[in-house]
Amino acid sequence: MEQIRIFELSKEYLENLREAISTEDKGFIKDSMEGANEADVASLLNELDQDEALYVLRALDQELAADILIELDEDDQFKIISHMEHHELAGLVDRMDSDDAADLLNQLTVNEREDVISHLQEKEKSAHILDLLRYDEDSAGGLMAKEFIRANKNWTVVQTINEIRRQAENVEKIYSIYVVDNKERLQGRVSLKKMILAAAETKIADICDDDVISVPTYMDQEEVAEIMRRYDLESVPVVNVKNKLVGRITVDDILDVLREQSEEDIQAMTGIAGDVEESDSVFRISKARLPWLLIGVVGGLMGSQIIDFFEEGLQAYVALAAFIPLVAATGGNVGIQSSSLVVQTLAAKSVFADTPWQRFIKGFLIAIINGIVLGVFVFLVIAFIFRYEHILGITIGFSMFCVVLMASFMGTITPLILNRMGVNPAVASGPFITTANDLLGLAIYFGIAVWFLGL
């Protein structure tokens, strides 16, 4: 008996897979990937070039190939589907949920999408996908799936169970059954547990929970994610303006939204423009990083001009130069801390959240406390440990206090202003605030030095 090779995600297996592709050994590919998780296979395909990844998908069963294609990053998906024949791609789309299929086809041109849809075997699937393509990708309508279980409120439990058996062929995960009236308007939901415990002739209306939470098709996906997180929902029904049930959003879709949102915020906070990944080309990653790096360089050049302006003062008091990095670093750290707290508060929207003015006052009070502590600490170290003149310790200590107040102000007010303007406030937490605080910090530092030391 021939022994089936066991799939193992490793560099060694990747090399074996590449060898199988080069020798066109489809048997190895199918046998070794039997029972493999589609997410693991997707990780492997990310390491292959476009032709190699396409060969692997063609060697596998269409059901598994469709699941793997869904797990790929959008860029990798496009590289593959753009080189597939439309009838070939339609064979995979036929095996996807409607929301995943719509997301995939949205990457193609209108003509290409229509040609792929025309090759679909399931006409109901075609209708579902066409309906989903009408919605904005970032809305509840663009996020929802058309495959779900619904029951009329006038049905009995036994009628509903028979309908579940019929509908469940196209529904991978069943969390609850949504209840509608004769006009398809959402009335509530009923759990599988209640149906199992109820008598066969019990009306669905009698065991239906009418307090179901639903979202409209036009709601932004981040708002949907917040609702599902707040109420700990595994799925949420989607309704149109007439309260007709048109789809559902499941928790796995929301996890993808949260992951994308987190990646966007992290990239914005670190000064990376656009959606980039480590696997992208050198040129694309450089292009995404350069804008904010250039801003930082320009800020550094302006800072050098501030230092040059006070060159004579530095020559008279050389020790001032030694503490420039201290002032700049503290200002940057305080600014990032302040902005991060504000961005976090803005992201977790709540009706009980403080007003912008209350946030500003709170941040100002925190800055006063931190500024006093840091200023006194710096004065004591400079005057009594480093044994510089007390006037220098007072100058740098007071500068530290003022810089902390300034940096806290910038870190608090900038994301609030950007949020009011409709700009992602996370961009305020990166190089923008750091650069601004460096410039203002230097100006404050030398201004106080001129005042206290008479430079």
- Whether residues 127 and 226 share a domain: the answer is no
What six digits make up the tokens of 137? 């990708």
CB 262 within 8 A of CB 347: no
Structure tokens at 192: 């599988």
| pLDDT tens digits in sequence order for the chain, 455 residues long | 344 445 567 788 888 899 999 999 999 999 888 878 888 888 888 888 889 999 999 999 999 999 999 999 888 899 899 999 999 999 999 999 899 999 999 999 999 999 999 999 888 889 999 999 999 988 999 999 998 888 999 999 999 998 888 877 777 778 789 999 999 999 999 988 898 899 999 999 999 998 899 999 999 998 999 899 889 898 999 999 999 999 999 988 888 887 777 766 666 656 555 555 655 667 776 776 677 678 778 888 888 888 888 888 787 788 888 899 998 889 888 888 888 777 777 766 554 456 767 777 888 899 999 999 999 999 999 999 988 889 999 999 999 999 999 999 988 888 888 778 776 676 656 677 888 888 899 999 999 998 988 76
Give residue 236's domain range: 150-262
348: CATH:
1.10.357.20
Whether 155 and 120 map to the same domain: the answer is no
Task: Look up the CATH number of the domain holding residue 245.
Answer: 3.10.580.10
**Eight-class DSSP state of 209:** B
CA dihedral sign, ordered 241, 242, 246, 247: positive
- On whether both 41 and 130 belong to a single domain, the answer is yes
Distance separating alpha carbons of residues 241 and 218, to the nearest angstrom: 9
Q: Identify the H or E element spanning 150.
A: strand 150-152
State the Cα–Cα distance between residues 215 and 152, nearest whole angstrom: 20
Q: Say how many domains are in the chain.
A: 3
Same domain, 92 and 197: no
203: left (phi over 0), alpha (psi -120 to 50) or beta: beta
pTM: 0.67
Beta bridge partners of 220: 139
- Report the distance separating Cα 27 and Cα 7, nearest Å: 13
User: 352 in the Ramachandran plot: left (φ > 0), alpha (ψ -120 to 50) or beta?
Assistant: alpha
Cα–Cα distances (Å) from 444 to 271, 306, 378, 392, in that order, read 25, 11, 16, 15
- The residues pairing with 151 across neighbouring beta strands, listed in sequence order, are 179
Give CA–CA dist 227/205, Å, rounded: 26
